[in-house]
Amino acid sequence: MRSYREELWFQIPQRRAFVNITSQVEEAVRKSSIREGLCLVNSMHITSSVFVNDDEFGLHEDFERWLEQLAPHEPTVTYQHNRTGEDNADAHLKRQIMGREAVLAITSGKLDLGPWEQVFYGEFDGRRRKRVLIKIIGE
């Protein structure tokens, strides 16, 4: 069993964004030389996410609207967490909904994704530099 580790760094200027990171994950799989195994891609920050879905603008708009309905940013005073001096309680909740990580199969040295599946970094409280870990294990 071998393993490979790589980090991606993001600093998103706007508060929220969905960034397609499929090509970066595919490149890490290629560099790992692992032919059969698993690839863990996880956000290393509590207000961002990694998830798998379709790269379609309308769907991303739907995610944005849905997440804002479930956990609106404003009014910030409605959140207990924001009483600590922060304004990002909604970002913590949005991350919880969208998930922390994705575990992807590697088959014949490539990500084994289904039709239309892409890997995304989801940012819910931009302005800070954040890290995504790619950990690949296999043979």
pLDDT digits (tens, 9 = 90+) for 30-58: 999 999 999 999 999 999 999 999 999 99
Average pLDDT, the chain: 97
- For the chain, the distance separating the N- and C-terminal CA atoms, rounded to the nearest angstrom, is 5
| Close Cβ partners of 101 (under 8 Å, ≥ 6 residues apart) | 40, 41, 42, 43, 50
Which class is 7-138 in CATH?
A: mainly beta
Tokens describing residue 41:
């891609």
Mean local confidence (pLDDT), 101-126: 98
Q: DSSP label at 109? A: T
pLDDT tens per residue across span 2-24: 999 999 999 999 999 999 999 99
The pLDDT, as a whole number, for residue 127 is: 85
Are 135 and 43 within 8 A, CB to CB? no
Q: How far apart are CA 127 and CA 117, in angstroms?
A: 28
pLDDT tens per residue across span 67-93: 999 999 999 999 999 999 999 999 999
